[in-house]
Chains A and B, each alone.
Chain A
């Protein structure tokens, strides 16, 4: 096989893994709350900036930096839930859980919170790109036969796989994972058998935002640039992956995120950098037109 082609595929897989980490957060939150969290891209930015602060002010080693990004992402997720989602869950009856008004209110409130977070970060850190010190950059080349790869790709692929494994463990082996699955399957039923809906939602936000925050700092370390609006493009692409995967299926979201990443990397062969964004958006439109339920999604009830 052509080595350049193979390199692009590996490159695309590592980018796709980042999309997958963000898309899982979207999918988890959509599964549990049935609303789209538009502030999820900001969790990614917050993770990246938390890592940047650790590097620039504290000079901590790499493993700790990623750990801090994880923790700060999780805390930010909990704060986001308190601020933008909790106030709109005043009513617990079936009609308001399914009502369109409530879903649109949370959609708009998460949009508003995302604007506030983005602009506050811009206010405190400045709108320009922040550079990462050279010793932290993850772009040392590694030669594997005729293919040259970089350490960042290995780190992103490796740690994403570890995190996905951890997520599977949480979801299928722990009590909190059981309640997350129960609530995403049937919120009222789960409530009636005594599960705490509030605690589960907070846990979901924490887990989803942790993955998002970690993705942010890893991309920052790989590309070497962190800026306040960095969350927008990846989160839109993660969102596309989630819609393609069928909105509430985690394996579907991961597979579609990887497909998206590889397609984008291969598309740079045929078009310039700016146009390659078009791939994700066209995938989105085509999916919505031809597979409104998502490629891997089961049929959902019409809501």
Chain B
């Protein structure tokens, strides 16, 4: 395996990867939309948004080992911040997007400050409680969030005077944003920071003894993760044009968790694959009708039972990526495990 890495030049396989990504993310949707199958483009939009969410959840639940059951709430904070700023003050997309992410990140830090000292199940319960508090607030703070009526954004996404109103152009914005955030999250999980988080997951007392400030590290990871969840929420609000509290309740948190679990806790490619699988699978099996969530539950249950490490466990995912994309993923290789 190491021979194959050294024989090919890293640039060639990097180009190969980039070409492949460009083809899948840019050319295929263009063809689909030209063929008039705009429904699939819409599906791809939500799949990409859930990819960002799954990748961000993977950072805390997979890499840092903190089971978070309220992730949809931070997604909701991002979406509501962006939607309210856009509809009340008419702020442009380029301003509301980072503000949505920041609002979720700040909320994440505020939640993390008191709760990060909790361990295992207590943390999961605390995030569940926080998620419900945020959902109840979105639903009942009618003067701010318009309650169950939801918020509508009438203006299309505008960047430097160019109006992105067609479905395909919105898709490209989401794709670019997804690529950037997933790349940043990938770098984060495969840096010193990510390795420190892994050590916290494996044994936090040991990590503390080795000189890692566990609480500070967990707060940073939680802030980063909620920031990206908020970013996903902001782009979702702008692309859908309408949001309501229904999209940010406990079942959505579970859906994101199921994606990470099916894909394999701690493996980012696995999380992305899980997101694609759980968004696209119900659409492929249209005949299931309203059994969609049953399928999600069954897939999650079977994957816990039969594949405890998920589709790609942490190590096997990296091996797979290394084999398929060769040295393009070398950046991640050096910092994982003992090698």
Contacts and interface: CB of A to CB of B under 8 A. Distances in A.
Interface residues of B, number: 40
A29 B222 CA distance: 31
Contacts of B320: none
Nearest to B302: A112
B125 interface: yes
Nearest to A126: B290
Contact of A289 (B115, B139, B301): B115
Interface in B284-324: 290-291, 293-294, 296-298, 300-301, 304-305, 308
A103 B121 contact: yes
A278 B133 contact: yes
A238 interface: no
Contacts of B261: 108
A113 B290 contact: no
B126 A285 contact: yes
B301 A112 contact: yes
Contacts of B290: 119, 122-123
A284 interface: yes
A120 B294 contact: yes
A243 B125 contact: yes
B250 interface: yes
A239 interface: yes
Interface in A274-295: 274-275, 277-278, 281-282, 284-285, 288-289, 292
A108 B300 contact: yes
B229 to A, nearest CB: 19
Interface in B105-136: 114-115, 117-122, 124-126, 128-130, 132-133, 136
A116 interface: yes
Contact of B298 (A87, A114, A116): A116
A236 interface: yes
Contact of A288 (B67, B118, B298): B118
A232 interface: yes
Nearest to B202: A100
Task: Sort chain A's interface into a size bin.
Answer: 35 or more
B179 interface: no
A58 interface: no
B140 A274 contact: yes
Interface string B217-229: 0000000000000
A142 interface: no
A288 B122 contact: yes
A104 interface: yes
Contacts of A112: 258, 297-298, 300-301, 304
B257 interface: yes
A119 B257 CA distance: 17
Contacts of A303: 119-120
Contact of A274 (B139, B301, B305): B139
A115 B128 contact: no
A277 B245 CA distance: 15
Interface in A70-129: 84, 87, 100-101, 103-105, 107-109, 111-116, 118-120, 122-123
Residue with the highest number of chain B CB atoms closer than 10 Å, among A84, A105, A112, A292: A112
A122 B261 CA distance: 24
Given A288-B115, A292-B118, A275 B291 contact: no
A13 B291 CA distance: 38
A154 to B, nearest CB: 31
A171 to B, nearest CB: 24
Contacts of A282: 133
Contact of A108 (B114, B128, B139, B257): B257
A285 B129 contact: yes
B254 interface: yes
A115 B139 contact: no
B301 A84 contact: yes
A173 interface: no
Nearest to A114: B297
Contacts of B297: 112-116, 119
A274 B121 CA distance: 27
Contacts of A118: 293
A115 B300 CA distance: 10
A253 interface: no
Nearest to B120: A100
A272 interface: yes
Contacts of B129: 240, 281, 284-285, 288
Interface in B214-263: 250-251, 254, 257-258, 261
B140 A275 contact: yes
Contacts of A105: 304, 308
Interface in A233-287: 236, 239-240, 243, 272, 274-275, 277-278, 281-282, 284-285
- Sorted nearest first, the 7 A-B pairs with minimum C-beta distance are A115-B297, A112-B301, A116-B297, A274-B140, A112-B300, A284-B129, A119-B294
9 contacts: A101-B308, A105-B304, A113-B301, A115-B251, A236-B128, A240-B129, A281-B132, A285-B115, A285-B133
Interface of B: 65, 67, 114-115, 117-122, 124-126, 128-130, 132-133, 136-137, 139-140, 250-251, 254, 257-258, 261, 290-291, 293-294, 296-298, 300-301, 304-305, 308
Given A112-B301, A115-B296, A239-B125, 18 more contacts: A104-B67, A107-B67, A111-B300, A118-B293, A119-B291, A123-B290, A240-B129, A243-B122, A275-B140, A277-B132, A282-B133, A284-B125, A285-B114, A285-B130, A288-B118, A288-B126, A288-B129, A303-B119
